[in-house]
Amino acid sequence: MSQLLTPQFPDYELIDSGDFEKLERFGRYVTRRPEPQAIWHRSMSEQEWQQMADASFLRTSSSKSDERGEWRLKPQMPDRWQVAYSYKDMQLKMRLALTSFKHVGIFPEQAANWNFIYDSIKQQQSQGINPRVLNLFAYTGGATLVARAAGADVTHVDSVKQVVTWSRENMESSSLDGVRWIVEDALKFVRREVRRGNRYDGIILDPPAYGRGANGEKWVLEENIGEMLECCAELLDREHGFLVLNLYSMGLSALLARTALRQIFSQTGREEMGELYFSDRFGKELPLGTFCRFTRMK
């Protein structure tokens, strides 16, 4: 059965959405960013949006699919700031910043998956397992921090050196250590891990629609996701491993992700799939990606 999941995240709020934009609070500061899935109208006026937004992202082209642009800041808006996230006995701090591709360094809807990752690792530990977790396309490391805070040995893979440096800062801010950092194309890395015969107890897979590896390797989701999943099936522990797959591309459903996983992960397991979303103050529910989780069972 498909689920709709929205996390409890006190340092984040979707204030309003519509007309292909969203107004969000990250900690103390409010940002205004493009959002192609907000096809409805805003509930608040343009004047209210302007008054509330500390930072507004302006596209450099008229295309709604072009995420490049620049930020217009109010005087009190810093270049960098922090947000916190807690779950059970986990306390994380993550640094945010305004990038030229509209991102701020965190995808808050992923907190619903973070909780699943944390609980899965704790469950494995209760069975006497010392979990090894692989985070692919790991960005600024939210899931990496969660897995490490839960006590797993974590390998963090991303092709952008600056982003890995950002992730390391988040680790240190969260009073954690011991993460294995890999700056490399994710597909190239998993191919090598398969040849080495390595195994992981958890894999987090958060691929973009398009991307480039550390040495210019081309990633196209529809063309490469099949091989990536085949490699992950080889790397995941045969009895108790879990995998989390996120898809952000518009038009790619959770059912599509589940079908792909079922074909490759043929063993019996527990499945969960659905959409991640936030509701704004006016009850409009904004979808922010699909997920599929698979847990191998003995």
Kindly list the domain boundaries of the chain, sorted by start residue: 107-296
Q: Give the pLDDT confidence score for residue 218 in this predicted structure.
A: 86
Which two tokens mark 85? 């996230």
Architecture per CATH, domain 107-296, reads as: 3-Layer(aba) Sandwich (3.40)
Residue 12 has phi, psi (to 5 degrees) of: -135, 140
Average pLDDT of the segment spanning 191-220: 90
- Tell whether the torsion through CA atoms of 140, 245, 290 and 281 is positive or negative: negative
For residue 237, what pLDDT band results from cuts at 50, 70 and 90?
very high
| 161 pLDDT higher than 90 | yes
For residue 251, what pLDDT band results from cuts at 50, 70 and 90?
low
With a pLDDT cut of 70, the percent of the chain lying above it is 95
Distance of CA 145 to the CA centre of its chain: 12
Question: What's the pTM value of the predicted model, to 2 decimals?
Answer: 0.94
For residue 273, what pLDDT band results from cuts at 50, 70 and 90?
very high
| 89 pLDDT higher than 60 | yes
